[in-house]
Structure 1
């Protein structure tokens, strides 16, 4: 099939029946280099502009770029959007976009029966399937009979759509995530103009690459409109509690927390001091606060965790709003100084962006693993208040509240966020 990269706005709406849904959970999954995070981010942005309430869950491999096509190397992005207020990214996806056999095998167990599965058939070669333990093709052996499977040769269709561009086959294949995004945008009636503007801006210095990605995106949209495999498209109406028109922004927990700390220092009329040692997933706070010297923020990248909190405690002694950021392994190293801060009755914020496991094993896997350590991980009687945000945006308010408690009661305060919120 030849996919013509027309402008989606030129096609007549209503050719296929539309099913109304109140909510959908979609998961994009593929290798770390397949662009799943970018694909999910763009689908999220268009969904937000459409007016749906939403929650997302990016998921990165903990390993350092595992070999392509292997289970440890699978990266995914999950999006839950609805016509009503929602609070979580969801548990069981209604739709899985699997870019290769590893992505299918790593995620299929999370899908309920009847879910839709879109697979890139071009990647289901014998070698790729054997790499993840498939003895026979799951697309042919009946193991997926409980799902609505849509086999789509994403790579072939993308290369065909870009045949008029001066690109190598490998360069053309990189746009297959945009083809998948276009297909899902058609499938769920997402706006398209924002993504095209984004691609033109992102690749402003490489207009040929921008044009190729836009062509792949349009080709995916047109494929959904013209292929008989997708007989129905779906519509999720804007949320009844949608915000009025205006200028909004996406925000992560770490960014909101950084802004909350700055706001707290301004409200308290105290200079903000951060003593920190870089550690995933807390390092973003150090990066962000280092940009705001104009608000009287001082950041110190220490040589280790103990030096970071030691410097912060000294700053508290000198009258600053003192903060140290870390994750679980760093909390273990900072415990003695936290106990000292309790004894000295000094305000100090210990921001713990939690992850799984001790030491360096799982830097990108989230686990709310540090509550007992935060509550009891010190010598003798050294009680410390604990504040925990519930959403990325709530990290802003949590930072303000933690600072208020620390300054009002002259005590260290734990702020327990985690990798998913961050």
Structure 2
């Protein structure tokens, strides 16, 4: 069973919505799984064709819930969606099984009538979607119209609703609907294009990251090569090899895959090569909850390698923001010659929202200068290439493409001598290299932490990261309408933290950190800044609900 939730309003939307106003249940399993989220008084449209003895028994209904009085708290509309759809599509000569597939379009037409939504765009989309199968396109359009006409003519639906136009003007431009994984994919393509580098993805399929592999494979025209490896280790090994060869190397995975990739990530730290490690987090540990969301890989990304192996960490906050986060991750990787973690999660990956398509001319220039000649003079006057002679500002080492005459150099995981890159077991050299690699990460330039505090009088700061942005912002809106002054800050960069983070945190009497884990960011903040950050955690595989979060924050503020 699968489900999809749509939220639309006359104001900006921050979450999919806590409680649906309308539930369309195509079968007993759908009703059973979702009824707990539906508030009393809501509308439930049920496909009564599926409420027969066997399907109901499978999900534990001893009696028919449409007849036993258990749903009296809701406005129930029992509609034979399957029968009506099959009847409407008889002229197309489809089999019953083929016709039944369009019942969701019938339901969409009915909902479009209920909410006075325009139909032209939907019909145009269906015809474009099934352009290669015109009969299928027209069948879906017909089912959609049949649903709209059913709402218009039946006496069962006495009430319809109308959502006013948006009160807040959008930034002018072209918009499209986009999911987090698709936005992240486009961000990777844009980053490689702006860097004027080939993009190489070495990946092994894993939920919920596989969509990125699938989508990138469709865009070979952008000088992209995708490799579906036999396992996680081979995937990142190939990506790191591509980085050594002068390409933008990327590997995508989820939490279990990060564990397998950890040794090669450590190798990338030692080699000091740009590499993007995209972790679409899911519930853990081990196989955990593959189709559910969680934020529990932060400490793994931060410390999940042997030795001192610092890696920058970036986390997008909305589905559309995955595009910008991918470009920022590439900027850091290419500028500082380091692997970079990009931490998304299942909630962002599968969630969608309107995306303002950016002007390519406004995207950052990510082009890099490869080493082209010698860069060091020995005491005897000989000119040589030193692969670990660093840029004085970024501490990045030169990036030399293999095969460039005169730039031959050693690679591998054994410690390198500063400058020359020769193998070194010297204790003083090892300490210098460890501290230099850490200093390089600590010195990465990132934007300051921004504060949302309209009252400028808040004494409590709610600090978030990643996909908690929407629920936290929605909870802030609820609290402020109740007259509670509260500030909100959201971290995009988790390593290194923005330079003003300590000053911001210590300017509030109380800091509360909501996370979909057991308090991993709170642990880092407490350790680094010695502040008593309060955790509010949830690890049920689901995102925060705005109302529940607002209530919890209010209780914490009043405690």
**TM-score tier after normalising by the smaller chain length:** 0.7 to 0.9
Matches within 5 A, 1:298-309: 298-309=225-236
The answer for the alignment partner of 1:278 in structure 2 is 205
* Structure 1 residue 107 corresponds to structure 2 residue 28: no
Q: CA deviation at 1:149?
A: 1.2
Tell me the alpha carbon deviations over residues 90-119 of structure 1, each in whole angstroms, 9 at most, x when there is no partner: 121111000111110110011111111111
Distance, in Å, in 2 between the alignment partners of 1:206 and 1:289 is 25
Tell me which residue corresponds to 1:236. Answer: 163
RMSD: 2.3
Instruction: Map 1:269-348 to 2 at 5 A.
Output: 269-348=196-275
Secondary structure of 2:323's aligned partner: helix
- Stretch of structure 1 that moved more, 177-186 or 205-214: 205-214
2:84 to 157, 175, 186: 157
Deviation of residue 140 (structure 1)?
1.8
* Counterpart secondary structure, 1:303: coil
Corresponding residue number in structure 1 for 2:368:
none
Measured after TM superposition, the shift of residue 168 of structure 1 is: 4.1
Alignment-derived partner of residue 379 in structure 1: 306
Map 1:37-48 → 2, pairs under 5 A: none
Bigger Rg over Cα: 2
- SS of 2:177 mapped into structure 1: coil
Partner residue of 2:144?
217
> Equivalents in 2 of 1:380, 1:233: separation in Å?
63
Match of 2:489 in 1: none
- Note the alpha carbon deviations across 1:28-52, whole angstroms, 9 max, x for none: xxxxxxxxxxxxxxxxxxxxxxxxx
Q: Counterpart of 1:335 in 2: which secondary structure? A: helix
Cα 1:243–1:350 shift into 2, 3 Å: same
Q: Greater shift after overlay, 258-267 or 178-187? A: 258-267
Distance 1:202 1:270 in 2: 32
Distance 1:409 1:190, change over 3 A: same
**Structure 2 length-normalised TM:** 0.58
Q: Taking structure 1 as reference, are residues 355 and 170 closer, same or farther at Cα in structure 2, changes over 3 Å only? A: same
Counterpart mapping for 1:164-183 below 5 A: 164-183=91-110
1:293-347, Cα deviation, whole Å (9 max, x unpaired): 4433333332221122122223333333222111111101001111222233332
Aligned equivalents of 1:302, 1:209: Cα separation in 2: 36
Q: Following the alignment from structure 1 to structure 2, what is the Cα–Cα distance between the partners of residues 211 and 101?
A: 29
- Residue aligning to 1:146: 73
- Aligned match of 2:458: none
> Which residue of the partner structure matches residue 17 of structure 1?
none
Residue in 2 that maps onto 1:350: 277
Deviation string 1:162-197 (CA, Å, 9 cap, x unpaired) is 455534444433332222111101001111122223
Shift of 1:246: 6.1
Residue from 46, 62, 65 that aligns with 1:135: 62
SS in 2 for 1:222: helix
User: Residues of 1 paired with 2:214 and 2:110: CA distance?
Assistant: 36
Q: 1:77: how far off?
A: 0.5
Deviation, structure 1 residue 274: 2.2
Q: 2:329 aligns with which of 402, 412, 415?
A: 402
Rounded to whole Å, the distance in 2 between the matches of 1:338 and 1:403 is 16
Higher relative contact order (CA 8 A, sep 6+): 1
- Report how far residue 207 of structure 1 moved: 4.5
1:255 matched to 2:203? The reply is no
Any idea what the Cα deviations from partners look like across 1:374-417, whole Å, max 9, x if unmatched? 12211132222210111121111101111222233332210011
* Range that drifts further, 263-272 or 378-387: 263-272
What is the SS of the residue equivalent to 1:82?
coil
Flag structure 1 segments of 5+ consecutive residues without an equivalent.
Answer: 1-73
Give unmatched runs, 5+ long, in structure 2.
Answer: 350-559
